[in-house]
Amino acid sequence: MKLFKNIICCLPLLAVVFLASCSKDADPVPDEIDGLKFVASLKNETHMVNLYSASGKLTTGYNEIFFQVRKADSSLVVNNISPEWAPTMKTENMSHSSPASAIAPVPGTSFLFSGFIIFPMAGDWELPITYHIDGTAYTSTGKAAVQAAQKRILESFEGSDGQKYVVTMLDPVKPVIDRNDMTALLYRMKSTNDFEPVSGYTIKIDPRMPAMGHDSPNNTDLTFKDGIYKGVVNLTMKGSWQINLQVANEKGEVIKGEPVTEANPASSIYFEIEL
C-alpha cells in the first residue's frame, strides 16, 4: 500500500523527466508549428513534406495551409526552395484543379511555408509539391482528404460570359449580431488546370433569413481591394442566414445570380452563415 502511494507521488516527477528528455531529441525549433495541427504527409524517396492547418482539417472553400520539408535524416530544409503546388482531384474520367495561391516562406521562420488552396469539392485531393534544392527539382506527393464545409461557403458557376468561376467566402469566421466584415475571393478558370484571380468585379450581397424571409439593412457589396473582395454583412439576429450573391463584371453587368423577389426566394448562388 505504502509503495503504491509512493509511486503515485512520483508519477508527475517521472513525467517531467520524460518530457524533458523527449524535447531534447526533437527539432531544434519546434515552435514554428506551434498552434498548427498536422493534416497529411507528402513523400518522395528523399523527402517528407508535412502539411498543417489551424484546424488539422481541410474543407471545401478557402484553406490556409502550412508545410515543412524534412530530409530522410529528419532534419528540416530551409525555406528558400521556391516550392509550387498543383492540387488535382481525379474522378473516373475527369481531372479537376483548384484555385491556389503562390507559396511563400512564413516571415520570421526558417523552415515554414504557407499558402492557400480553395477546394471546390470534397474528396481525396492529390497535392504534389515541387521544390528545388541545389538546382535539383524534387516533387513530393500524396493524398489529402478534403471534407465538405458545414455551411455553403463556395460556389462554382458558369457566368453569362461563358467563363467558369469559383467564388468563396473567407470572413466572417466568427459571425456576430453586428456589422461583420465580409471577404471573398473570386477566380476564373483559364483552363482545366489553371485558375486566375479576378479583380475589379463586384460581389453583390443580399443576406436573408430563410426561416422568416427577412433581410438585413445597410450591407455593403464586396469590391476588390488589395487582392481580396471586401464588404460588410449585417446580421440582425442569431440563426441561419443565406447570403444571396450576384457577381457583376467591371462594366456592372451581372454575370451570375438573381435578385431576391417574392417569386424568387433565393439567388442561384449564395453563401450560408450560421450564428
Partner 1 sequence: MFRSILILAAVLFCRQAVYSQTDQHQHPHAASADTFTLQELREVVVISQRSASDRSGKPLASLDTYLEKSAAVNMIRRGSYAWEPYLNGMASERSVITIDGMRIYAACTDKMDPVTSYVETTNLASATVHNGPSGSTGGATVAGSLDLVRKKGSFGRGGFNSSIFGGFEANNRLKTGGTGVAYSGETFFANADVTYRHADNYRAGGGTEIRNSGFSKLNMSAIAGYKADEHRHLEASLIFDRASDVGYPALPMDVSLAQAYIASLEYIQHHLSPGVSEWKTKLYYNNVRHVMDDSRRPDVPIRMDMPGWSRTWGFYSQLKGSREKHDWKASLSGHHNHSLAEMTMYSDTPGWKDMYMLTWPGVATRYADLYAEDSYSFREKWKATTTAGLAVHNNLIDNITGLGSLRIFYPGLQKNRTRLLKRLSSALTRETERWLLSAAAGYGERAPGISEGYGYYLFNSFDRFDYIGNPEMRNEKTVTYGAVAAYRRSRLSAKLSGSVFQVYDYIIGKPDAGLSAMTIGAAGVKVYEQLRHARIMTGALEVSYQFGKNWLWTSKAGYRNGKGNGVGPLPLMQPFSYQEALSFTHKSFSADASIGGALKQTRFNPAFGESPLPAYAVLNLSASQLLEFGDRSLTLKAGAENLLDQNYTTFADWNRLPRMGRNIFMNVIWKF
Please report how close the Cβ of residue 172 comes to partner 1 at its closest, in angstroms.
12
Nearer to partner 1, 46 or 240 (CB): 240
How buried is 140 (Cβ within 10 angstroms: 0-12 exposed, 13-18 middle, 19+ buried)? Answer: buried
CA atoms within 13 A on the CB side of 18: 6
Q: 32 with 111: CB under 8 angstroms?
A: yes
Binding track over 185-204 against partner 1, x by CB under 8 A: --------------------
Member of 210, 223, 254, 258 binding partner 1 (CB under 8 A)? 210
Q: Where are the beta strands (DSSP E) in 113-170?
A: 113-119, 123-126, 129-133, 136-140, 143-147, 154-158, 164-169
- Please give the size of the binding site for partner 1, defined by CB under 8 A: 22
Residue with cell 461563358: 162
Q: For residue 69, what is the enclosing H or E element?
A: strand 61-71
155-184 footprint of partner 1 as x/- string (CB under 8 A) = ---------------------xxxx-----
Q: Any contact of residue 263 with partner 1 (CB under 8 A)?
A: no
Which of 26, 72, 173, 211 contacts partner 1 by CB under 8 A? 211
- Find the part of the chain contacting partner 1 (CB under 8 A) among 97-105, 141-149, 187-195, 207-215: 207-215
Output the smallest distance, CB 104 to partner 1, in A.
35
Taking CB under 8 A as the rule, does residue 213 contact partner 1? yes
Which 231-260 positions form the footprint of partner 1 (CB under 8 A)?
A: 234-240
At 271, which helix (H) or strand (E)? strand 270-274
In the list 214, 225, 250, 253, the residue contacting partner 1 (rule: CB under 8 A) is 214
Report the run of H or E that residue 11 belongs to, with start and end: helix 2-25
Q: Among residues 42, 47, 46, 53, which one has the least CA distance to residue 87?
A: 42
Amino acid at 142: G
What are the grid coordinates assigned to 110, written together? Answer: 526558417
Q: Which residue lies nearer to partner 1 by CB, 31 or 262?
A: 262
Nearer to partner 1 by Cβ, of 162 and 217: the residue is 217
Cβ(47)–Cβ(39) below 8 Å: no
Residue 216 in contact with partner 1, rule: CB under 8 A: yes
Minimum gap (Å) between residue 181 Cβ and partner 1: 13
Please say which residue, 17 or 177, places its beta carbon nearer to partner 1. 177
Length of the chain counted residue by residue? 275
Cβ-based nearer residue to partner 1, 194 or 274: 274
Q: How far is the CB of 58 from partner 1 (least distance, A)?
A: 23
- Tell me how far CA of residue 209 lies from CA of 116, 216, 260, 261, 271, in angstroms: 30, 9, 12, 14, 12
Interaction site with partner 1 (CB under 8 A):
176-179, 209-218, 234-240, 274
